[in-house]
Structure 1
């Protein structure tokens, strides 16, 4: 880890907190902690998080929860489960989830029974735990999904766009190939085959 990227794990942990289901703990613990951490980050990553936190300050607990559910549970193109963007509900997604679980296990990291390994908040938390090099590599593996989610949130005017803007600030600039992948996924959407996914069926986002 170099001084230039030492802040990235702190950014990913903060983003993970803000993408968790906004229960009472979110309001009274995660949000104040995230605000303090965001203030220590480079402006390109911290400023969007502070703007998001300011937005939440003006909302009731019920409003924030309802918006989260409407955004992430009820909109197909605002899915927090990253392997969906590459594989849809296909058997290949099941294999991708298994590979993620094995990656986590190899690093000595265990999920709870309520967590799926491809939820963006989980991926960010793991990235924070393993450090800038490996964390960034894992996020880049899911770059197309992250970008599609960010674009979908922006198009709906969602305040959670700010959190994805902050995630993007921790990643390398998009290359031509990545632009092509994002454009293709945006145009075609994910595959729709649903065979073979039963053991890995996604839990609601609020299960985190």
Structure 2
């Protein structure tokens, strides 16, 4: 996979990059994404890698149209499984606008311009960012860990294969994970202990036209 880097890159960065690709909408290039992720990570150690491989093995056996339909049903038709992280903490409020602006300003401070047609809190975008700038990018994900964990719990309850990707990502985040869905939900209300700090990136995640979440769920 051209965008997954090995060598000196940590497993966490590889996991973030792979999850960014696999959590993107399965458009015409979808069939090559799980295949190239699997080929890239197959020799790496760790339970998080096995979670990625389990997702890829299933995805490669499925019809791309079925994958696309499931993606829409999973992420675009339920507020419980939204891929826009500030939705969990701020909902559709003015406060959310400020949260989005903070994330975008961090991107720009470090020379990375996110796509104009995508919100900066879109999880695949944030994962791509963390893959390219592991230390500060991981800090940004950690600041939004409660939302990521709430999404993980929702995908597990839905018995979605995408839960494996969120499980892999959460295994790569530092610190203590919420002990329960209830604790994760509480943390989305109280907020992270500190704001995200600087990031350093150069290449943007490929732009994908995505809807913004609303009270009826995000829709394409």
TM-score normalised over the length of structure 2: 0.78
Listed as ranges, the gaps of 5+ residues in structure 1 are: 189-200
Once residues 96 and 154 of structure 1 are traced to their aligned partners in structure 2, the CA distance between those partners, rounded to angstroms, is 27
Q: Tell me how far 1:75 sits from its aligned partner.
A: 1.1
CA gap of 1:5–1:61, structure 2 versus 1, over 3 A, is: closer
The answer to whether 1:52 aligns with 2:49 is no
Secondary structure in 1 matching 2:138: helix
In structure 2, the residue corresponding to 1:26 is in which secondary structure? Answer: coil
Which position in structure 2 is the counterpart of 1:197? none
Match of 2:77 in 1: 74
> 1:206 offset after TM fit, Å?
8.6
User: Is residue 99 from structure 1 mapped to residue 109 from structure 2 by the alignment?
Assistant: no
Residues 169/63 of structure 1: CA separation in 2 closer, same or farther (3 Å cut)? same
Distance 2:107 2:36 in 1: 25
What's the C-alpha RMSD, in Å, of the aligned pairs?
2.7
Of 20, 24, 27 in structure 2, the residue corresponding to residue 16 of structure 1 is: 20
For residue 84 of structure 1, give the secondary structure of its aligned residue in structure 2.
helix
User: 1:146-205 CA distances to partner (integer Å, 9 max, x unpaired)?
Assistant: 00000000001000000001101101242679987514268x8xxxxxxxxxxxx82797
**Cα distance in structure 2, aligned partners of 1:206 and 1:58:** 26
- Structure 1 residues 33 and 146, CA gap change in structure 2 (3 angstroms): same
Q: 1:181 to 1:108 in 2, by over 3 A?
A: farther
3-state secondary structure, aligned to 2:81: coil
> Does the aligned pair in 2 maintain the 1:144–1:178 contact within 8 Å?
no
For 2:18 and 2:165, locate their aligned partners in 1 and report how far apart those are by CA, in whole Å: 9
Query: Structure 1 residue aligned with 2:34, among 28, 31, 35?
Result: 31
Q: 1:163, 1:176 → 2: CA distance?
A: 17
Q: Is 1:113 paired with 2:116?
A: yes
The higher-RCO structure (CA 8 Å, 6+ apart) is 1
Distance in 1, matches of 2:101 and 2:165, equals: 27
Shift of 1:58: 2.1
User: Residue in 1 aligned with 2:89?
Assistant: 86
Which residue does the alignment assign to 1:6? 10
Q: Counterpart in 1 of 2:68? A: 65
Q: CA deviation at 1:41?
A: 3.5
State the match for 1:157 in structure 2: 159
Partner of 1:146: 148
Q: TM-score, normalised by structure 1?
A: 0.82
Could you list the runs of 5+ residues in structure 2 that have no partner in the other structure? Answer: 1-6, 190-210
Distance 1:178 1:154, change over 3 A: closer
Report what 2:200 is aligned to.
Answer: none
